């Protein structure tokens, strides 16, 4: 659990930075964002604009799942993936608020029973926010 907490703390901290516009307006790759996340620590889960799934939801490999955002924002694009576990699983313009994909085997939670789902939102390729949800991903039923 400690790692997951650390990472979420890092994300919350990171988001507070982007919100405060202290992150320079530069183009960051998912890898660079991940590096930022693990070098900075802070204090809470931050689902941001993700309204579904909720934190601590349980997913199974092979399950069709939806990630739903609070609002459609045609000027933003999103990339959805599991931190340190998968490549991009779904994404595109937020002209749609729901993104569907199939849970891949790489997303299965380790001994600490948590996987961190991230949604990186960009506007004109510039980072807007990183929304994060902690999930438990189990092998196929």
Ligand X SMILES: *[C@@H]1O[C@H](CO)[C@@H](O)[C@H](O)[C@H]1NC(C)=O
Q: What does the binding site for ligand X look like in residue numbers (CB under 6 A)?
A: 1-3, 36, 38-40, 64-66, 84, 98, 100, 110-112
Question: Cβ 68 to ligand X, closest distance in Å?
Answer: 8
Are residues 92 and 78 in contact, defined by beta-carbon separation less than 8 angstroms? Answer: yes
Eight-state DSSP code of residue 106 = G
Q: Which two tokens stand for residue 10?
A: 């890092």
Question: Cβ 107 to ligand X, closest distance in Å?
Answer: 12
Verify cis geometry, omega within 30 degrees of 0, for the bond prior to 58.
no
Are residues 67 and 52 in contact, defined by beta-carbon separation less than 8 angstroms? Answer: yes
Integer Rg of the chain from CA: 14
Residue number, 72 or 100, with CB nearest to ligand X: 100
Question: Cβ 45 to ligand X, closest distance in Å?
Answer: 16
- The 3-state DSSP class for residue 20 equals coil
Question: Cβ 100 to ligand X, closest distance in Å?
Answer: 5
């Amino acid at each position: 659990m400690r790692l997951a907490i650390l990472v979420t703390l890092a994300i919350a901290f990171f988001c507070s930075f982007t919100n405060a516009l202290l992150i320079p307006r530069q183009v960051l790759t998912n890898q660079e964002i991940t590096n930022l996340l693990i070098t900075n620590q802070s204090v809470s889960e931050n689902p941001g604009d993700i309204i579904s799934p909720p934190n601590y939801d349980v997913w199974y490999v092979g399950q069709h799942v939806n990630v739903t955002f609070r609002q459609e924002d045609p000027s933003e694009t999103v990339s959805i993936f599991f931190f340190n576990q998968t490549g991009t699983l779904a994404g595109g313009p937020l002209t749609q608020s729901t993104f569907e994909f199939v849970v891949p085997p790489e997303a299965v939670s380790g001994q600490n029973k948590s996987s961190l789902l991230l949604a990186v939102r960009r506007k004109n390729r510039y980072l807007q926010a990183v929304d994060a949800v902690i999930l438990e991903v189990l092998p196929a039923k």
